[in-house]
Amino acid sequence: MNRADPEGAVADAAEACSNWGRWGADDVLGTLNFLTEAKRREGAALIRRGASFSLSQRFDANGPQKGWRRRTNPVHTMLDTGTDAAAGLQGFPHGIGGADDVIAMPLQCSTQWDGLGHIFDHGKAWNGRDAATTVTSEGDLVTGIEHLAAHVAGRGVLLDVGRVVGGGELPDGFAITETHLTATAEAHGVQVGRGDIVLVRTGQLARAKRDGWGDYAGGPAPGLSFTTASWLHRTEIAAIATDTWGFEVRPNEFDHAFQPLHQVVIPHIGLLVGEMWDLDALAEDCAAHGVHEFWLTAAPLPITGAVGSPVNPVAVK
């Protein structure tokens, strides 16, 4: 891999890993096509104890965002309150009162999915479409995340690379290679394959929760190496999510590059990518019971035309 030539590396990986046309010219699901009804039945059969884990960070003003690309933490405002009700200001009959609220936030500010319209390569969106006509000021007119809402449920697999390779946490800037991923799967006694939703824990979020956010939102981080593009394509997984802000290692592995793995996996592979997932409690349970596979449901909000969505993933074992 030539560190001085990110554009050449992206072009080579895009050609080698392209899924353009694989599911037809009109496809809007990408690798979620691998998550079949049979795969969901396989995932549902993994529920034994009924233990459930939310894999979402909280959505509040104390999140990690610092304003990059106008991303802010959620702003939660009450429209009606118990104070209003107690003061008789709501105008309802026979003593009934209530509370309403509103939230304003970027869709990528906390635990979320990147939609297929989130990243482009040289003006091309998923499946070779023209980015200029696919995603406009009116939103993603073709691959809006609403199309994925019914599909993200199936077999989840946790690869706790932080625990297996790093003794708990990987340092910032650590590039997770295919060798690390396969060694972790072997250590856990699980196989990763077609239709799986793969969760990669680095331990960075655990460190941020302990030490403070710092540069969690956009700074140095452990993450997947650019060289994993072929593994992500070859394994035919349905989706992947990490406990980091950007999914791939930061700083990126090239000089003067920004998120080159995104540039391959979203517009070319059609891979659903999740970021800022809280995998710590699930990881502790997986380690305690020696079981790293489970039922996982992680539906995005069906926000018409959105290129990303907040999500509260739930793993059930």
**Nearest CA-CA partner of 63 in 16, 111, 99, 10:** 111
Place of tokens 């496809």: 27
Closest CA to 190 of 55, 44, 314, 43: 43
When pLDDT is averaged across residues 89-93 and rounded to a whole number, the result is 96
**Alpha-carbon span 209 to 204, nearest angstrom:** 9
Closest CA to 139 of 151, 125, 149, 121: 125
pLDDT for the residue 292 = 98
Helices 280-289 and 204-211: angle between axes, nearest 10 degrees = 120
Q: Which residues of 23-32 are buried (b: 16+ CB within 10 A; e: fewer)?
A: beeebbbbbb
Alpha-carbon span 142 to 28, nearest angstrom: 7
Domains of the chain (ranges plus CATH)? 6-69+107-316 (3.50.30.50), 77-103 (no CATH)
Tens digit of pLDDT for each residue in 24-81?
Answer: 999 999 999 999 999 999 999 999 999 999 999 999 999 999 999 899 999 999 999 9
Local structure of 31: helix, strand or coil: helix
pLDDT, average across residues 174-191:
98
Instruction: Judge whether residue 146 has pLDDT over 90.
Output: yes
Residue pLDDT, tens place only, 218-266: 999 999 999 999 999 999 999 999 999 999 999 999 999 999 999 999 9
Residue 171 pLDDT more than 90?
Answer: yes
- Reported as a pLDDT band with limits 50, 70 and 90, residue 269 is very high
Query: Which band of pLDDT confidence, cut at 50, 70 and 90, is reported for residue 178?
Result: very high
- 2's enclosing H/E stretch is none
pLDDT of residue 73: 98
Q: 282 in helix, strand or coil? A: helix
Q: Look up the pTM and report it.
A: 0.97
Task: Identify the residue whose tokens are 């070779």.
Answer: 128
DSSP conformation class of 300: P
- The continuous run of DSSP H or E covering 121 comes out as none
Residues 288-314: tens digit of each pLDDT: 999 999 999 999 999 999 999 999 999
Radius of gyration for the alpha carbons in the chain, expressed in angstroms and rounded: 20
Mean pLDDT, residues 129-153:
98
Alpha carbon distance 196, 281 (integer Å): 20
The whole-chain average pLDDT of the chain stands at 98
- Over residues 119-134, the mean pLDDT reads 98
Q: Which of 2, 1, 11, 5 is nearest to 263 (CA)?
A: 11
The structure tokens listed for 279 are 């995998």
Q: In terms of Cα–Cα distance, which of 132, 107, 227, 141 is closest to 176?
A: 227
Do 197 and 237 form a contact (C-beta atoms < 8 A)? Answer: yes
Q: Residue 1: pLDDT above 90?
A: no
Half-sphere exposure of 285 (CA within 13 A, CB side): 18
